[in-house]
Amino acid sequence: MKRSVEIQKIHTRSFRANIYNVDPFRMIGLIDVNVEYSYGIERVTLPFYRSSGTNNGKIKGLWYPIVGIKTQTGPFTEFTDYLNHALTASTRRGFAKKGWLAKSVFFTDEFVPQSRIRGFSNGKHYEPLLEIGKTLRYLYEKENYYDMFTLDPELLNSIVTSHEIYPGNTHSQRENFNRLMADIINGNK
C-alpha cells in the first residue's frame, strides 16, 4: 500500500483567479490537481498567489502556494485544527493580521540549497509545487484562466476547507487538502 502522498497532475483548465491587492499588485487563485494517496488518486483544489516581487526575494509574477488567507487579526482559527496548529507554530507569536497570506509552512528554517527558490517547501513536494507555480505564471500571462470576481479570502478559505466530496473522489476536499498539507509540512522537518 502506498504510504506517501504525491502530486500527479495539474488540471490547467480549472485555474481561476482574482485581484487580491492593487498596491502591491497581487492575484490569488485556485487550481485543481490530482494527488495520489494510499486510498487512491483524488482531485484537490490548491490555493496560490501571484507575487509582486516586493518581499524576501520572491520572484515577481511567480505563483506561490498558500494555505489560505487570514480573515481576522489574531490567532489562527480559519483553517483545520491541524493547519491552525501548524501555522501557529510557524509564525512569530502565533498570530497574524487580517489579510495575511498564510504561507509560512512553505518556508523552512533549515538550510535551503541555493539552487532552490524559497517558498515552495524544501521537501519532496518542492518540484511539483514549483511546477504548479510556473504553470500558473504561464497561464496567467497568456490570460488562460477564469476571472473569478467573487474570489476573496473568505471564499478561498471555504473552498479549500470544504466538506464537499468532488465527483470521483472518496474523501472530502478538506480531508485531502489537510492530508497533503500535513505531508508537505512534515516533509520539511
Answer whether 98's CB lies under 8 Å from 77's CB. Answer: no
- Residue 24 forms part of a structural domain: yes
Q: How would you classify the pairing of strands 40-50 and 74-75?
A: unpaired
Sorting pLDDT into bands at 50, 70 and 90, what band is 17?
Answer: very high
Query: Does residue 109 register a pLDDT over 80?
Result: no
pLDDT (tens digit, 9 = 90+) per residue, 128-184? Answer: 999 999 999 999 999 999 999 999 999 999 999 999 999 999 999 999 999 999 999
Answer whether 164's CB lies under 8 Å from 173's CB. Answer: yes
Question: What Rg do the C-alpha atoms of the chain give, in angstroms?
Answer: 15
> Cell digits for 123?
521537501
Sorting pLDDT into bands at 50, 70 and 90, what band is 57?
Answer: low
- Residue 14 forms part of a structural domain: yes
The pLDDT value given to residue 1:
44
pLDDT (tens digit, 9 = 90+) per residue, 150-162? Answer: 999 999 999 999 9
> How far, in Å, CA of 123 to CA of 84, rounded?
21
Answer whether 123's CB lies under 8 Å from 187's CB. Answer: yes
Q: Number of structural domains, the chain?
A: 1
- Quote the domain boundaries for residue 31: 6-187
Say how many C-beta atoms besides its own lie within 10 A of residue 171's C-beta.
17
Q: Which of 52-56, 119-123, 178-182 has the highest mean pLDDT?
A: 178-182
- Residue 1 forms part of a structural domain: no
pLDDT (tens digit, 9 = 90+) per residue, 66-88? Answer: 999 999 999 999 999 999 999 99
- Residue 163 forms part of a structural domain: yes
pTM (two decimals):
0.94
Query: Does residue 2 register a pLDDT over 70?
Result: no
- Residue 126 forms part of a structural domain: yes
